[in-house]
Amino acid sequence: MMHYSSWLIGVKNRASLRNACKTPPNMDRNKRVTLNVDMQNNNPQPNGKTSDLTVMTHLWKKGYKTIKKIGEGTFSEVLKTQSLKDGKFYACKTMKQTINSLEQANNLREVQAMKRLSPHANIIELHELIFDKETGTVSLICELMEMNIYEFIQGRQTPLPDNTIKNYMYQLCKSLEHMHSCGIFHRDVKPENILIKQNGLKLGDFGSCRSVYSKPPHTEYISTRWYRAPECLLTDGYYGLKMDMWSAGCVFFEIMSLSPLFPGTNELDQVAKIHDVLGTPDQSILQKLKQSRAIQFNFPPKKGSGISRLVPRCPAPALSLLYQMLAYDPDERITAETALRHTYFREIRLAEKKAETFQRVSGTMDGLESGGKHNSLDHIWRPARLGKQLRGRHTRQTPLISHNMKHVAEPLIRRNVPHIPTELPKINMVVPGPQISFPVSTMPAFTVTHRGTLPTITSKKCQSRLAKPRDESHRAALKTFYIPPLDRKHGGY
């Protein structure tokens, strides 16, 4: 086992090998960039910077006017554009790396992720992909939001209302739950990548996303440092989708307190700041992390200050959810699906259920009112057409079908249908049917008439069901009830 100081020196030496991805220790918060280098799949380092004039010309040819630049990262820049076709405003994300073909552009991990995740209320939607074959420039035309979470809380002096915080966190958890259920995890959840518009929240920037089914080790130096989970810091790329929940917990704290939770200046300082708040983990947790790292490490026992002291006015349900999101052990960390069922979001869930019920009821009423008289009449005559379909399917009519069609069509005769000057089925035409004499002295023979839309009931079937011969047992049963004997007429009873 190596001493703690020796471990720090070893980690520092390894970190010095990543000069291409290293962020200066005194980096200002306004200049933070996403450290999402992934050389394995569609994320090569940019080999040149596309000039602004080239981008503007490229977009103008495709029918978009550039308004202004609204953001820039390591591998892309974001412009506010306006469509020359419909006049709507969009956010255009132009890649700094060049692409050789349209097929390669469509195979970009970010493009594939946005297509798979859309449409969803809390995921940025891809409107159009533009590829310039001459320059190899790829631009993603996405929906335009007002600002991101960092811009929303920047410079704010008073805390946000509890309902606003709860609403934003619920939508963030819904976006992560949708991503994880689709087999993708984001790997770079931070305030700059969480966009808002009025009360709506949408997760964006999927350039660092990865499939949950891909086998580790993954890229070590991923995500922005302040929101990087312990398993990303202490292992050689052995992490999974639970890292997104850790990042969401850091965002949760930052929205409540208006300041970052773990603002480490480097990897060593990042681990120290986590231990200052949460304390050093148990040896069982460290043992699991040691199995996936070449360098052994021991942390001196430290009891953290706790999150509750940093946000003293935090409600108990919110604090409970925050601790579950920031569990040191990823196996004990809460999932996005379980977080949506947390007590903290109980009021939002009840409001959603009421809204869904009201929408279903109002939709049913609107459908009945907008149907009109013609649609209502069309619904009335539907059973008659159903009878015709059944007659076409069954060459031999069974008593059950004839019986059912009779009872379905009987209420139609009794309905008071308003007079509409349209051509309706001929319902008044009477087709004379066979006269059936029932061999009962008390019931005279009557004529059964059938409408044009009903199946014909043959006399043979009626006799087989209604006119069954009575035997001696029936007469004996009648005598027991003191029914007077019937006179014989024409040889029958």
Backbone angles phi, psi at 470, to 5 degrees: -95, 135
Determine how many CB atoms are found less than 10 A away from the CB of residue 459: 14
Backbone angles phi, psi at 75, to 5 degrees: -115, 0
Burial class of 71 by CB neighbour count within 10 A (0 to 12, 13 to 18, 19+): middle
> Taking CA 238 as the corner, what is the angle to CA 186 and CA 8, rounded to the nearest 5 degrees?
110
What's the rounded Cα separation, in Å, for the pair 49 and 381? 69
CA 106 from chain center: how many Å?
23
Handedness of CA 398, 400, 405, 410 (dihedral sign): positive
| DSSP characters over 154-169 | TT--SPPPHHHHHHHH
Burial class of 293 by CB neighbour count within 10 A (0 to 12, 13 to 18, 19+): middle
Q: Enter the tokens of residue 239.
A: 């992490």
Catalytic residue among 28, 52, 132, 188: 188
Amino acid at position 307, single letter: I
Rounded-to-10 torsion of CA 206, 209, 212, 216: 180
What's the rounded Cα separation, in Å, for the pair 246 and 324? 9
| Residue 188 a catalytic site member | yes
Determine how many CB atoms are found less than 10 A away from the CB of residue 111: 18
Could you report how far apart the first and last alpha carbons of the chain are, in Å?
111
Strand order in the sheet with 126-132: 64-72, 76-83, 89-95, 137-143, 126-132
* Closest residue by Cα to residue 182 from 256, 246, 115: 115
Helix axes 4-16, 267-278, angle to 10 degrees: 140
479 is in an annotated binding site: no
| DSSP characters over 279-345 | -PPPHHHHHHHHTT-SS---PPP-----STTTSTT--HHHHHHHHHHT-SSTTTSPPHHHHHTSGGG
CA distances 298 to 10, 231, 281, 368, 459, Å, are 13, 15, 11, 71, 97
Rounded-to-10 torsion of CA 285, 248, 119, 92: -120
What's the rounded Cα separation, in Å, for the pair 254 and 248? 10
Annotated binding residues for ATP: 93
Residues recognised as catalytic: 188
Annotated binding residues: 93
